[in-house]
Amino acid sequence: MARRIAAFGLEDPEPLRVSEARWPALLGVVVSQRLTGLAEVGIREGWLRVSSAQEAELIGRQREAMLRSLAIERLLVRLATSLDEASVPFVVLKGAAVAHTAYPDPEWRPFGDLDILVRGQDWHHALGIVQNLGFRRDLPEPHRGFDVRFGKAATHTNEEGLQLDLHRMLTLGPFGLWIEPDELFAGTTQLVLGGRRLRRLDDASLFLHACVHASLGWRPPLLLPLRDVVQIATALPVYRAVVIERARDWRLGAVVHHAVATASELCGGTSGVLPRLVDGLVAGPRERRVLRAYTTGRRRRGGLALSTVRAVPGLARKATYVRDMVLPSREFLTARAHAGTARSSYARRWAVPFGWIAKEKGDVSKTEESDVRYRRHH
Amino acid sequence: MHTSRLRRAQDALFRSAGGDVYLAAADREGFDRLSGSAATAWMLLDEGPTFAELVRELASLHDATAEEIEPEIRSLLDELVRRGWVWESA
């Protein structure tokens, strides 16, 4: 049912009725996956059939989501003022950018945090500005200099509980390393919000980032990022030639195909826009292998870190990455332990690489076999 | 106010939910909420109407005469202008 709500207005006109018994669980998913906006519009248009009590409950949750989105936009305008004053270029990513450009109305698309991309050369300057606005970084970098060498983003939280992700890359791991940040900055367009002229990724890069987020962000993929993929492809003038050129340059072929296939399922595979958009895009064997490090159980067993080691160019940089991962600072480990995240001690961190060695020895033939099978079927 | 155009302030951030409109601005904390006909008026301000046009539209939507609702709308707009959510332009 949540899947159908995520696909509201795309293809399926059959009304959705929700029983009293299923409502609490459905509402829980709708809230956690930020689908309250789509659900509210669905109710307003008579597609989602719920009781008046259920409607009131949903509207209450949508109101909370909208107030949070507004608070984040207010933060964005304040941050933009500070970054502009400091001459730090930045790009607005994900929620705030997508809600105001790809959806009929930003109410359709709540967002829970602010994502901002800055260049590596401006990283420390931007960190200082964010902290001056009352934000504290959730986790320190694992090792001094890690952020600008390999880091994707630093999550910050303020006293109100608002979250701000300062990005240097779009995603973790090899795919993040393969996307050229300067090209991201070159491919931007204007986003006007609260009277301010900001920059967002242009339509092709917005689509590619939505694919990256949908495929690589969570396992299994979340519904709203999948909806974003369909929404951007159908509502904005995304040019196939540009998508294919950038996806090839950034080695995103496998990611884009994975996102398109998964997002197509959201609308019952009936939307022809997505497959046409990526027709002719090639996914190389290495990209497909790396994708599995994100989208299969290997991710939790250190597969992503191992793929990143392979993708980092140069022996010295590889060694630095391994050192940063295996021997992070005490400060980092302590912060992780307080945050309740896994692998908060040296012993636990070492357990994963030792696990790799054991598995690599025992499972090489199986890995090769599954790669061959994958190639045959694709 | 009768001949000038009424526009939402450019720096107003807003969302609607459940028929209400919530307003926020970067230079202040908290949110303002517009309900009922005030929320409808906010939506109509997107077109940049004159005061007379706004009253006429709202009267039509609420099945009332312009004379009946004009004082309320005037009071609402005065408050919106005072709080910086609406600008008047020639």
Q: Is residue A17 part of a domain?
A: no
- pLDDT (tens digit per residue) in A209-239: 999 999 988 778 889 999 999 999 999 999 9
pLDDT of A174 > 90? The answer is no
Residue A317 C-alpha from the chain's centroid: 26
pLDDT of A362 > 50? The answer is no
Size of interface A-B (CB pairs under 8 A): 53
Q: Is residue A325 part of a domain?
A: yes
What's the average model confidence in pLDDT over A203-207?
Answer: 97
What's the average model confidence in pLDDT over B58-70?
Answer: 89
pLDDT of A264 > 80? The answer is yes
Decide if B24 and A71 are in contact by the 8 Å CB cutoff: yes
Q: Is residue A60 part of a domain?
A: no
pLDDT of B16 > 80? The answer is yes
pLDDT of residue A289: 87
From B67's Cα to the closest Cα of chain A, the distance in A is 31
Axis-axis angle for helices B36-44, B51-61 (nearest 10): 130
CB contacts, 8 Å: A70 with chain B: 13-15, 22, 24, 31
Q: Which of A247-261, A303-317, A334-348 has the highest mean pLDDT?
A: A247-261
Question: Coil, strand, or helix at residue A122?
Answer: helix
pLDDT of residue A292: 86
- Can you give the CATH number for the domain in which A76 is found? 3.30.460.40
Q: Provide the residue type at A105 as one letter.
A: D
Q: Is residue A40 part of a domain?
A: no
pLDDT of A49 > 50? The answer is yes
- pLDDT (tens digit per residue) in B18-58: 999 999 999 999 999 999 989 999 999 998 999 999 999 99
B16 φψ region: left (φ > 0), alpha (ψ -120 to 50), beta (else): beta
CB contacts, 8 Å: B16 with chain A: 66, 107
Determine which of B13, B20, B33 to mutate to test the interface with A (most A C-beta atoms within 10 Å): B13
Lowest-confidence segment of A319-328, A345-354, B75-84 by average pLDDT: A345-354
pLDDT of residue A295: 82
Q: Provide the residue type at A125 as one letter.
A: H
Q: Is residue A147 part of a domain?
A: yes
8 Å CB contact between A151 and A160: no
Decide if B18 and A193 are in contact by the 8 Å CB cutoff: no
Q: Looking at chain B, which residue has its C-alpha nearest residue A36?
A: B17
pLDDT of residue A182: 84
What's the average model confidence in pLDDT over A251-258?
Answer: 94
Determine which of A54, A74, A79 to mutate to test the interface with B (most B C-beta atoms within 10 Å): A74
pLDDT of residue A300: 67
Percentage of chain A surpassing pLDDT 70? Answer: 87
What's the average model confidence in pLDDT over A170-198?
Answer: 90
Q: Is residue A8 part of a domain?
A: no
Strand order in the sheet with A163-167: A136-137, A153-157, A163-167, A113-118, A90-93, A196-201, A188-193
Lowest-confidence segment of A77-81, A112-116, A129-133, A371-375 by average pLDDT: A371-375
Q: Check residues A172 and A346 and name the one with the higher pLDDT.
A: A172
Q: Is residue A39 part of a domain?
A: no
Percentage of chain B surpassing pLDDT 70? Answer: 98
Decide if B24 and A106 are in contact by the 8 Å CB cutoff: no
Portion 20-59 of A in contact with B at CB < 8 A:
40, 59
Q: Is residue A52 part of a domain?
A: no
pLDDT of A172 > 90? The answer is no
Lowest-confidence segment of A138-142, A242-246, A271-275 by average pLDDT: A271-275
Residue A318 C-alpha from the chain's centroid: 25
Report d(CA A333, CA A320) in Å as an integer. Answer: 18
Q: Could you give the number of structural domains in chain A? A: 1
What's the average model confidence in pLDDT over A18-37?
Answer: 93
pLDDT of A184 > 50? The answer is yes
Question: Of A9, A10, A112, nearest to A61 (Cα)?
Answer: A112
Report yes or no: B30 at the A interface, CB cutoff 8 Å: no
pLDDT of A107 > 50? The answer is yes
Mean pLDDT of chain A: 85
Domains in chain B, start-ordered, CATH in brackets? Answer: 5-83 (3.90.930)
Question: Of A213, A120, A128, nearest to A167 (Cα)?
Answer: A120
Report d(CA A19, CA A368) in Å as an integer. Answer: 48
CB contacts, 8 Å: B9 with chain A: 195
CB contacts, 8 Å: B17 with chain A: 40, 59, 62-63, 65-66, 107
pLDDT of residue A341: 55
**Parent domain of A133:** 69-377
The token duo for A28 is: 């829980």
Report d(CA B75, CA B81) in Å as an integer. Answer: 10
pLDDT of residue B70: 92
Burial class (CB in 10 A: 0-12, 13-18, 19+), A192: exposed
What's the average model confidence in pLDDT over A123-131?
Answer: 95
pLDDT of residue A353: 46
Decide if B9 and A195 are in contact by the 8 Å CB cutoff: yes
pLDDT of A342 > 90? The answer is no
Percentage of chain A surpassing pLDDT 90? Answer: 53
What's the average model confidence in pLDDT over A293-301?
Answer: 74
